Structures are given as structure tokens and as C-alpha cells.
Structure 1
Amino acid sequence: MGHRALLAYRRDDTDDGPADDTPPFDDADRPLSREADETAEDPRYDLHRSHWGGADFALCGRLSADTPFATDSSFAVDPEPIATDCSLAEIVGEHLDFLHHEAVYRVGTDYETTAFHVCWFGLEGDCEEVERSETVGHGALVAVGDDADYFRGWFRGTKTVVGDAVDRECFSPAEATDYLAERVTAWDADREVILPD
């Protein structure tokens, strides 16, 4: 089954890219260095996948200009993008399957990497009232801290309690989704949370 991850590689805002929409590569199959303003309001990303990269956020610290796709490891990233020139909102709302991916990484042009927990808001495993939940665009990304295992357990426990509240008609499924979004956002005021638009 693997430990699937998606990786969003920051594009150079001044570079429209080659005609085939793939990033430029040098002779060593590495993306060419891109000088970009990391503070741009709507940065764009090329989206890649890794079959095993979600395991314990193993790609943190493994990506660099010399090894942009960690091909020297068992967590290698597919160099062929699955989508190009996307915003983070588009990735979260249209490309990320919250049920089937364990991690998302945002990779800067300097290869500084931020890992995110993938928090799916689907409740069918936690209550009888919900038979099926969307898996794309239905969850949140929460930046990983030193408490990764604790956070995963906290989120699973929170979903169980929310699912019980739905079964007891304290929440509608829509209200449960809103509540889960509020809870992950409030987890740590200093931690980045990305929700679908």
C-alpha cells in the first residue's frame, strides 16, 4: 500500500517554464536553480508524488539541490510532475486525496522543506450517520511539529468524539466538518494550517 506523499515544489514566478510545462533540468537531471521571491502572494508549485515519502515524514532533510527528488533513498520522489503551476489552494482543494495520502511537503526554491499532516475530515469510520465522505478537498493540512505522534493520536480521538456527536444529533455532518476545521486551526496558534477554499 505504501506511505503516499505529495510534494509541492515552488516555481520561479518569473519563469513561465518550457512549452511542455516541466521544470528545466540540467545534465544531472536536477531542476535548475531558481531565484524567486518566496514571499509572493500567490506562489505557484509543481506537484510530484512519492510512494513511500509519507513514512514518518522521511523526506524532511533529504531534499537538496544535489538530490531534489531523493533518488538516493527508498523514499524517492517521481521526477515527473502530476500537475504544474498550481497554487497551494488548488493542490489542497483539487489534487490531494486526504484519505490516501499521509503527508504533504512544501519545497522552496532553496529546498527548504515544510512537512504537513494530512487530516481527513471524513467520519464514516467514526459514526453511523455518515455513510460516505469526500476524500478530495475535505480536510486540512497542519504543519508538523515535534509532537507528530501525539498530534495524530489527538486528531484521531477528536474525530471519534465528533463522530459520536453526529450520531447523537449534536452536530450535523456539515457542522462537524466546520468544528474539525476550527479544532485543527486552534491546535497551535503558531502552526500553519491550510484548508481548502
Structure 2
Amino acid sequence: MGHRALVAYRRPDRLYDLRYSHWGGENAAFGRQITPETPLASGSVTADLLADSVARDRILTDFLNPCIHEALYLVDPDANYDVTAYRVCWLEWGDGRNGGRGAIVAVESDAADRRVRTWFRATKTALGDLIEMGALSRRAAQAYLESRVCADEDGTVYTYVGDDPESDVTAYTPTPDRWLEDDWWQDVTDNWETSETDDDWETGNDTDDPP
């Protein structure tokens, strides 16, 4: 399965060349393997480019799928291969077919990376339980999760659209509300059996005899 990461190398023109690492997202220590002597982390980063001449903003919206990638590394070869590591957070719940909303959080050390991963996993799990219990809508839970990532971890929130030409990053719509009671009520009404007809509910059609 791997722990996928996107590795972006800054060019002299301030654009980025993007490469892929299958295990680079496991922990932030991977960034230390990228050096002037081992720019591809001794083969852990693929030599083939995913894309070249990519603007920094487009790295997130067009290439960093938060449902797939676990980490992002920005590499500056002109600064002795200085590496900035980011933990990727997926801000949605579901089967993962749509990447949707994500966030990146800068992690300066292995300890910071573990803390962010643990905090985010616990917070998202608790919110997911509230959604399933019907105590909180999916829309409200997602808005709360985004606000916590930004306020507590100084995260950068973004909308991944990939290479879909029909997508508009400025027109992001949160996942619609979905309440547990909606599913329960649908099951009840689908299986509702009654001997009464619509006519039985009309005025004057009361079949009960008066006392």
C-alpha cells in the first residue's frame, strides 16, 4: 500500500518539478534523506517527473490529492537542498473516490509530525462518531475540523481538483449534510405496511363506531 508523498523541487525560475515517493509519507524523517549527495533520497524518490514547471499554488490544487498523499516535501536545491516537510490532512469522510478538501501542516521534526498525526486522527475520529450518531451534520463537522486545523496547527486548507477541466477551485461546495435519522426514517417508510388507504384518512370516513 505504501505511504505516498509528493516531492517538489524548486527551480531557478521559482516553479517546481514534481516527483513521487511511495514510502516518503511514513514520517517526516524522510526529508533528511534528501541531500546534495542524494537528491532522490537514494532512490526513494522516482527519477521520472510527474510534472514540471508547476506554480506553487497548483501543487496543492492540481497534484496533492489529500485522500492519497500523506506528506508533501518542498526542496530548495539552491539552498543546499533545504527541505520543508508538510503533513497532509484529508478533511472529508467517505470511500475516498473524491479527494476533495485537504490541508497541509508544516512539521519541523519527527516529534511534531507524530503529534500532528495523532491529534488529527483523534479529532477526525471523534467527529466521525458524532456524525454517525446524528449529533452533528457532516457539513458542520467538516467546518469545525477545518477551523481547528487552521487555528491550532496553522494549517493551509485547499481544494484538490486534479486534472478535471470542469472543476472550479473557487466554487468548492462542502459535502451535503447527512443525518443518521434520514437513513433510519427511509428504512421505516420503505417497510411501512398498513391496511388503511388514503380514503380512510378523509373526513367522514371514520370506520370506528361511536361509543
Same fold (TM over 0.5): yes
1:140 aligned onto 2:131: no
- Conserved in 2, the CA contact under 8 Å of 1:122 and 1:133? no
Amino acid at match of 2:37: D
Shift of 1:176: 2.7
Q: Which residue of 1 aligns with 2:4?
A: 4
Q: By how many angstroms is 1:132 displaced?
A: 6.0
Higher relative helix content: 2
Higher relative contact order (CA 8 A, sep 6+): 1
For 1:187, the equivalent position in structure 2 comes to 152
Distance 1:172 1:70, change over 3 A: same
Counterpart in the other structure of 2:92: 122
Tell me, yes or no, if the aligned pair for 2:150 and 2:157 is still in contact at 8 Å.
Answer: no
Moved more, 159-168 or 142-151: 159-168
TM-score (norm 1): 0.69
User: Secondary structure at 2:32's aligned position in 1?
Assistant: coil
Which of the pair has more CA radius of gyration? 2
Give unmatched runs, 5+ long, in structure 1. 14-42, 125-130
TM-superposed deviation, 1:161: 2.3
- Which structure 2 residue ranges, 5 or more long, are not aligned? 160-211
How far off is 1:148 after superposition?
A: 2.0
* Identical counterparts, % of pairs: 39
1:154 aligned onto 2:119: yes
Preserved contact between residue 8 and residue 105 of structure 1 (Cα < 8 Å): yes
The number of residues matched between the two structures is 155
1:33 aligns to what? none
What is the RMSD computed on CA atoms of the aligned residues?
Answer: 2.2
- Alignment map for 1:1-197 (pairs within 5 Å): 1-13=1-13, 43-71=14-42, 76-109=44-77, 110=79, 111-124=81-94, 134-135=98-99, 137-145=100-108, 146-169=111-134, 171-189=136-154, 193-196=155-158
SS at match of 1:61: helix
